[in-house]
Structure 1
Amino acid sequence: MSFEPVTYAERPSRVTGAVLWTRAGGVETGPVYPVLPDGCMDLLWTGGRLLVAGPDTRAYRPESHGAARYVGIRFYPGTAPAFLGVPAHELRDRRVDLADVWPSAEARRLTERMDAARDPAAVLESAALARADGSPPPDPLLAHVVKSLDAGRSIASTAEEAGVNARLLHRRSLAAFGYGPKTLARVLRLQRALALARGGLAYAETAAVAGFADQAHLARDVKELTGVPLSRLLSPRPVRTE
């Protein structure tokens, strides 16, 4: 017996900062890898359902997907709440039907369009673009927070450069990212470390460059956020499906 291989592909979306991704193929015979925290939120479609994947504070472990086909749009950190119309913290560590977030008739119409489309990825991207056109422009504070924390700057200096106090920064972060700036900084640091390690950098060097105190600190943080050791995450590379 043979199986069609599972394929995953992504490309930059026409929605600013977003990524459009697809997943299709046969039955997975190996382990189902966790979806790791990345500061993002996704809107995804699979066979008659539109789902919202909220911001994760820990690894999400999906059930085996079989031969399911997925199409999704992954929003840049902090931008999904304006598209969805709800604060990010209400969706933290959750997967919910779009009809629980949008008016049910609107969610149903988009689902029907996706189900009938020859190219559901194009339909999803067009819907996201149309909704983005009617939303307020991105808040420059949020882009500053992501850029600053991703560069390894402290929360205090991030707030000071933005001209806000720590309490306001925390409140704005909850609504935009789903959690406070401390958790966002940990998630972004995790992603930096994974990118460096996947590029072949030794673990000790990865820890230093990514902003960890040492390799032991890197190992602890990876285990706390993902539930598995760093070595298991690197081979084979997991792909996001929700």
Structure 2
Amino acid sequence: MAGRACLLLRGPPLPSVGVYAERPFPGLACVWRRTTSSTAVGRVVPDGCTDIIYSAGTGEVFVAGPDTVGHVTRSRPGELFGVRFGPGVGPPAFGVPAVELRDQRVPLSELWGPSARLEDALGAAADPCSVLASAALARLRETPPDPVVGVIASSSGSVGDLAWSLGLSSRQLHRRSLAAFGYGPKVLHRVLRFDRAVKLAWRGVPFADIAHRTGYADQAHLSREVRELAGVPLGQLIRP
């Protein structure tokens, strides 16, 4: 697997950075579009997802793997179009375990082979998101996700109890979790809880309420986790 090729913004931008919009798409977490009028600096934080991202300005198509920590990114003016796979869903479509994509930005051609036809279709499309989504869903039909993905992601119990409920050893569970999500079960649940907390914070929910609703011991626990995963305090992370 190649090293990180570039870093691309995903998720809601600061209001001064540009316009970001998501829309639902059957079989995917969402499709999205970002328009940026000037060079922008933002922060990507872990959410457990993988994206395919198309840059209309350069014609490049990249895969953004699951992140483990937040990092600052810089994007050029222009439009980005993306499709987002929910946690554990995307890696089978790429033909590699999620752990090999963790914290990586990889040209799609390294995973799918020559992509000139897809790039031509994207360049000519009125809606590049639909082109990306069709290609992604075609791959998923050929190689669907591990059937235990939903159970692992939604579990709130201990790893031992989860493994027992699936008829797996803890070691087998860890391997399948790395392949599907890029993380072991404990890290996955930590990332998904953090993601839920950040989404509530964007909606204006008080931090103490967020801690209670997402299962943190208290607000101090929430603050420590956000600093460790995002690199900045929660208030700074969502600050306009």
| Alpha carbons of structure 1 residues 179 and 5: separation in structure 2 relative to 1, 3 Å | closer
What pairs up with 1:32-51 in 2 under 5 angstroms?
32-46=41-55, 47-51=58-62
SS at match of 2:72: coil
**How many positions carry a matched residue from both structures?**
223
Deviation of 1:112 (Å): 2.2
Any unmatched runs of 5+ in structure 2? 1-15
2:94 maps to a residue whose letter is L
Q: Return the offset for 1:199.
A: 3.5
Within 2, Cα distance between the matches of 1:200 and 1:50?
A: 34
2:209 alignment counterpart = 205
Structure 2 match to 1:141: 148
Rounded Cα–Cα distance in structure 1 between residues aligned with 2:214 and 2:126? 42
Counterpart for residue 112 of structure 1:
120
Query: Which residues of 2 match residues 1-242 of structure 1 at below 5 A?
Result: 6-14=18-26, 16-27=27-38, 32-46=41-55, 47-63=58-74, 65-103=75-113, 105=114, 107-135=115-143, 137-148=144-155, 152-236=156-240
Aligned to 1:240: none
How far 1:28 moved relative to its partner?
A: 5.6
Contact 2:90 2:145 in 1 (8 A): no
Equivalent residues of 1:174, 1:180 under 8 A apart: yes
Q: Gaps (5+ residues) in structure 1? A: 237-242
Partners of 1:95 and 1:112 lie apart in 2 by: 21
Determine the C-alpha separation between the residues in 2 that align with 1:201 and 1:44.
30
Cα deviation, 1:90-130, whole Å, max 9, x if unaligned, reads 11101011122121x2x222122212223211211121122
Amino acid at match of 2:49: C
Confirm or deny: 8 A CA contact 2:178 2:184 kept in the other structure: yes
In 1, Cα distance between equivalents of 2:189 and 2:233: 20
- Structure 1, residues 38-94: CA drift from partner, whole Å, max 9, x if none? 00011110031010101100113211x232210111101111111111111111101
Structure 2 residue matching 1:33: 3-state secondary structure: strand
Deviation at 1:139, TM superposition (A): 2.5
Code of the aligned partner of 1:180: G
Q: Is the 8 A contact 1:6 1:28 kept in 2?
A: no
Larger fraction in strand: 2
Give the counterpart letter for 1:221 in structure 2: E
RMSD: 1.9
Q: TM-score, normalised by structure 1?
A: 0.85
Runs of 4+ in 1 over 4 A off after TM superposition: none
